[in-house]
Amino acid sequence: MRRIFTLVIVFTLVATFAQAQISVNKILCENRTNPMGLDNTQPRFTWELASAGHNVSQTAYQVRVSTYPDFRKPIWNSGKVVSDSSVHIAYKGTALTSHTKYYWQVKVWDNSKKASAWSETGYWISSLFNTTEWQAKWIGPGFKEDSLRASPMFRKVFSSTKKVSSAIAYITAHGLYEAQINGHRVGDAYLTPGWTSYGKRLQYQAYDVTDLLATGNNVVGVTLGSGWYRGLIGFSNNQNFYGKDVALLFQLHVTYTDGTSAVISSDGSWKSSTGEITYAEIYNGETIDARKIKKGWALNGYNDAGWNSAQVMDYGFKNLLATYNEPVRKHETFKTLRVLKTKKNEHLVDFGQNLVGWVKIRLKGKKGQKVTISHAEVLDKDGDFYTENLRAAKAQDTYILSGEGVELFEPHFTFHGFQFIKVEGYNNDLNPDDFTAVALYSDMNPTGSFSSSNALVNQLQHNIQWGQKGNFLDVPTDCPQRDERLGWTGDAQVFSRTASFNMNVDNFFAKWLKDITADQTEKGAVPFVIPNVLGKGAAGSAGWGEAATVIPWNMYVAYGDKQVLKDQYGSMKAWVDYMKSQTKDDLWNTGFHFGDWLFYSVNDDTDGTSAVTDKYLIAQCFYAYSTQLLINAAQVLGKTDDYEAYGKNLKRIKDAFVREYVTSNGRMVSGTQTAYVLALNFDMLPVDLRPQAASRLVDNITKYNNHLTTGFLGTPYLCHVLSEFGYTDEAYKLLLQDTYPSWLYPVKMGATTIWERWDGIKPDKTFETPTMNSFNHYSYGAIGDWMYRVMVGLDTYNDGPGYKHIKIMPHPGGGFTNASASLQTYYGTVSSAWAIGGDQLNFDIEIPVNTTASVFIPAKDAASVMDGGKPLKNGKPYQPAKSKENYIMVELGSGKYHYTVTN
């Protein structure tokens, strides 16, 4: 009995110790798990820590890196570094070499001096650091292309007689590529190499293909599509924007177990031909003629005697770089929700979700039978298939059957935005099981969740997330379905902070921001779209150019990485200097601007109810905001001269604003919501004029019967400004409004994504003009930022960006009985949840290890708060300066906390 008792005690002690032990939960290198092909010579390491209990932080770390998995001969051993930094720690060992696999580990010490075990072993593979390391040659098809520009295929047989220890392939293309080795697809990325400003920056991908190689003869097969490179892109059916010929660059490094190696490269010895993909365009869709399949063409033994030698092209290697962002991959799949036959006798499939990707199809029929699949986002008021809003994009995949048994079809080099498909040329009775919709988007980690007691608001959150999934396809696009799908800068900047909650968009934006830098004009103007396919003159609009300043700053705040500011500083400054160069007497009142795009306006506006905001007033606000963000960046990076110089300029910009656009009583020349929102959000008004401006904003909202009237530029800040000035109730009224214009109106109309316009579908079920009516446009989804940061209250302080110093200040209200959100930060999960029952508020939060949080408990005094069932200690009363709500503030370390407030 005594023995058992002792055992129990020992066991309990071990368990307690084990619980308190700090451990490394997750490790990342350049924000990715075991990245392939990094051309970064000083990669950065991030680790997430775990420890039960409270107030655990890191006091020291040690990182080791080796080319051996057992860490023999480390090339870097940091030793024990006294530091609480656990994110973005840069490698500082001996110089790295190209094309090498590196292993790394980290261990940490916590604030009770306990050490963790070494973390799991992570690795990365360096890519080709120098463009001179490309031995491969660019190759194009060795035949004249047909008028439809059928997808060329390339084939190479090589022999590998020794045992392979590793094989890494580096591949890119002018156009899009899909590669196979011995008939197996290389990797699971789609639409590679993705879209960048190709002339200056073309990403290549690295793949570990060790398992695909066989002893003896091996075959590489690669198919190319026109893609963004030379396909239709931009308006007016532009083709060949980057060049008229597709081309392939392929270099495979094979290392054998005996230490020898070989390189297999694209060159004139490769063979080229065409096969079943007879047409492929992003906007128009793909045609596959199964009668033209060249069976076994990527396998050994195929007779390629009829193929032409590939043509070597002289494109050079200067613009090549390794891929930094996550590739596009397949994600959710959707089964048929219902098959429909319309009055027009059309056969439709409804997948129940507006998504971006394509449909996989199983067909059986006669040889030569032609089946077309058209895509649509919505049905019209009669229930008919509606494609007018796709404008010139045909969005149609065509399959010509071989007649050989059950045939499977799936496109390769296109994508569609759709919820419905129309099937033509097939059976009258569609089998629901024959159709599967596949969502394709950049493979960013999902990081955020939000939910509340209101089902419509939860659907809004769903729509915001699907707006993001549908439009984060290697670049942030405006819309995914019509003949546009461009990286509109304004849309991306207004949504960027919301995006950083839903998914980890750190690398996604880091890559795209470099394309901004690449495409900025010599004078610093930021193009309307990035990559810029609209021409040099299409640049310089206020609110759009802000992508160059707002996104780097938002990413810095969301992920705490100074590198993005370092990398983008020149671009940020160039944009601010561009605006300055356009001013006279500190006023930016020249040039073309989109203004508060798609604001509320009425057709026959006899009494002036349309919410028109002076475009130059808007321009001045964004000029000030960008200048402020540049000042912030200068401060973070220690650029004192800029900090001071731009600080002085900012004062002049604001003075000029007040002189030009504000009466001495504080009325603005445009009395719109957007005008007041921008002026207040960017601190454009003297302090004493701000409260009256906020109340004018509220009056305006009341005048519209609690409706918003803002367009792309005012919408993101509307509820933030209301809450900041103590009008959270009004913010809730806007959030919960469900008649046009409002966020919930589309939800009530059955939307599964965010619409481009507040009234894409009108109450009588007719549509807005088809020339501009996308049903998958994320901009207005920017309300998500307020839902996370204000409603649930998850935020980070700028002095500890990336949630090193967390701010949690929820705003219960609006008749909601609960709301909760969580976010996967680089430190771990932070969450906040409030729930109201009777006169009690329950408040649950989670703070990750190695962070601190200032938490604001909504309560009138400390005495009404219980902390885990006990009276709260150390709570301080707090009132936000402008809004005067009552909170009790506590400073917390890591752990889970439960508060109850009796009011």
Q: Which residues are catalytic?
A: 484, 756
Site stretch for ligand BGC (CB under 6 A), options 216-224, 285-293, 395-403, 477-485: 477-485
Q: Least distance from C-beta 626 to ligand BGC, angstroms?
A: 18
Q: How many CB atoms lie within 10 A of CB 311?
A: 17
Site stretch for ligand BGC (CB under 6 A), options 139-147, 187-195, 476-484, 847-855: 476-484
Q: For 266-295, what is the HEC assignment?
A: CCCCCEEEECCEEEEECCCEEEEEHHHCCC
**Which of 661, 649, 577, 575 minimizes the C-alpha distance to 618?**
661
The interaxial angle of helices 715-724 and 690-703, nearest 10 deg, is 120
In angstroms, how far is CA 406 from the centroid of its own chain?
38
Residue-by-residue DSSP string for 779-821: GGGGHHHHIIIIIS-EEE-TTSTTTTEEEE-----TT-SEEEE
Residues 735-794 that bind ligand BGC (CB under 6 A): 777
DSSP E strand boundaries for 84-215: 89-90, 101-110, 122-126, 138-140, 152-160, 164-174, 176-181, 184-185, 202-208
Q: Which is nearer to ligand BGC, 127 or 354 (CB)?
A: 354
Residues 87-126 that bind ligand BGC (CB under 6 A): none
Q: Least distance from C-beta 235 to ligand BGC, angstroms?
A: 9
Q: Least distance from C-beta 438 to ligand BGC, angstroms?
A: 24
Backbone torsion region of residue 517, taken as left when φ is above 0, otherwise alpha when ψ lies between -120 and 50, otherwise beta: alpha
Chosen residue from 491, 546, 561, 730 binding ligand BGC by CB under 6 A: 491
Query: What residue spans of 313-454 are helical by DSSP H?
Result: none
Q: Which is nearer to ligand BGC, 134 or 488 (CB)?
A: 488
Backbone torsion region of residue 30, taken as left when φ is above 0, otherwise alpha when ψ lies between -120 and 50, otherwise beta: left
The two tokens of residue 182 are 């011995």
Which positions from 349 to 368 touch ligand BGC by CB under 6 A, shown as an x/- string? --------------------
The residue whose Cβ lies closest to ligand BGC is 478
Q: Least distance from C-beta 672 to ligand BGC, angstroms?
A: 18
**In what side-by-side order are the strands of the sheet with 184-185?**
184-185, 176-181, 216-225, 152-160, 271-274, 308-309
Q: Which is nearer to ligand BGC, 168 or 479 (CB)?
A: 479
Q: Which is nearer to ligand BGC, 57 or 710 (CB)?
A: 710
The two tokens of residue 664 are 């001495």
Chosen residue from 74, 490, 527, 784 binding ligand BGC by CB under 6 A: 490
Q: Which is nearer to ligand BGC, 541 or 549 (CB)?
A: 541
Size of the site for ligand BGC (CB under 6 A): 9
Which residues pair with residue 836 across a beta bridge?
841
* C-alpha span between 90 and 641 (Å, rounded): 27
Site stretch for ligand BGC (CB under 6 A), options 175-183, 373-381, 484-492, 656-664: 484-492
Q: Which is nearer to ligand BGC, 195 or 594 (CB)?
A: 594
Q: Least distance from C-beta 215 to ligand BGC, angstroms?
A: 53
Under 8 Å between Cβ of 139 and 248: yes
Q: Which is nearer to ligand BGC, 426 or 599 (CB)?
A: 599
Site stretch for ligand BGC (CB under 6 A), options 48-56, 275-283, 488-496, 626-634: 488-496
Map tokens 């993705």 to a residue. 194
Q: Least distance from C-beta 187 to ligand BGC, angstroms?
A: 31
- 464 burial level (CB within 10 Å; 0-12, 13-18, 19+): buried
Q: Which is nearer to ligand BGC, 543 or 793 (CB)?
A: 543
**Half-sphere exposure at residue 784, Cβ-oriented, CA atoms within 13 angstroms:** 33
Q: How many CB atoms lie within 10 A of CB 423?
A: 21
Residue-by-residue DSSP string for 582-630: T-BTTB---S----STT----SS-TT--S----HHHHHHHHHHHHHHHH
Q: How many CB atoms lie within 10 A of CB 72?
A: 8
Site stretch for ligand BGC (CB under 6 A), options 46-54, 203-211, 466-474, 478-486: 478-486
* C-alpha span between 577 and 199 (Å, rounded): 25
Chosen residue from 154, 324, 488, 588 binding ligand BGC by CB under 6 A: 488
Q: Least distance from C-beta 478 to ligand BGC, angstroms?
A: 4
Q: Which is nearer to ligand BGC, 419 or 471 (CB)?
A: 471
**Which of 520, 491, 503, 519 minimizes the C-alpha distance to 558?**
503
Which is it for strands 852-858 and 805-808: parallel, antiparallel or unpaired?
Answer: parallel
Q: For 157-179, what is the HEC assignment?
A: EEEECCCEEEEEEEEEEECEEEE
Q: Least distance from C-beta 440 to ligand BGC, angstroms?
A: 20
Site stretch for ligand BGC (CB under 6 A), options 78-86, 486-494, 568-576, 612-620: 486-494
Site stretch for ligand BGC (CB under 6 A), options 66-74, 95-103, 272-280, 482-490: 482-490
Instruction: Quote the DSSP letter at residue 148.
Output: T
Q: b/e for 828-837, b at 16 or more Cβ within 10 A?
A: bebbbbbbbe
Map tokens 């193929």 to a residue. 307
Q: Does 39 bind ligand BGC (CB under 6 A)?
A: no
* C-alpha span between 176 and 246 (Å, rounded): 8
Q: Which is nearer to ligand BGC, 203 or 674 (CB)?
A: 674
* C-alpha span between 355 and 491 (Å, rounded): 19
Residues 656-685 that bind ligand BGC (CB under 6 A): none
Q: Does 478 bind ligand BGC (CB under 6 A)?
A: yes
Chosen residue from 27, 438, 473, 479 binding ligand BGC by CB under 6 A: 479
Q: Which is nearer to ligand BGC, 481 or 571 (CB)?
A: 481
Chosen residue from 289, 483, 484, 768 binding ligand BGC by CB under 6 A: 484
Q: Least distance from C-beta 541 to ligand BGC, angstroms?
A: 8
Under 8 Å between Cβ of 611 and 710: yes
Which is it for strands 378-379 and 818-825: parallel, antiparallel or unpaired?
Answer: unpaired
Q: Least distance from C-beta 852 to ligand BGC, angstroms?
A: 39
Q: Which is nearer to ligand BGC, 488 or 717 (CB)?
A: 488
Q: Does 550 bind ligand BGC (CB under 6 A)?
A: no
Q: Least distance from C-beta 21 to ligand BGC, angstroms?
A: 51
Q: Least distance from C-beta 102 to ligand BGC, angstroms?
A: 42
Kindly compute the dihedral angle of the four CA atoms of residues 364, 369, 370, 373, in this order, to the nearest 10 degrees. Answer: -20
* C-alpha span between 710 and 701 (Å, rounded): 10
Q: Which is nearer to ligand BGC, 561 or 614 (CB)?
A: 614
Q: Least distance from C-beta 220 to ligand BGC, angstroms?
A: 40
Residues 6 or more apart whose CB falls under 8 angstroms from that of 123 comprise 29, 34, 69, 101, 102, 103, 104
φ/ψ of residue 20, rounded to 5: -80, -15
Residues 581-620 that bind ligand BGC (CB under 6 A): 594, 597
User: Could you list the residues that contact ligand BGC (CB under 6 A)?
Assistant: 478-479, 484, 488, 490-491, 594, 597, 777
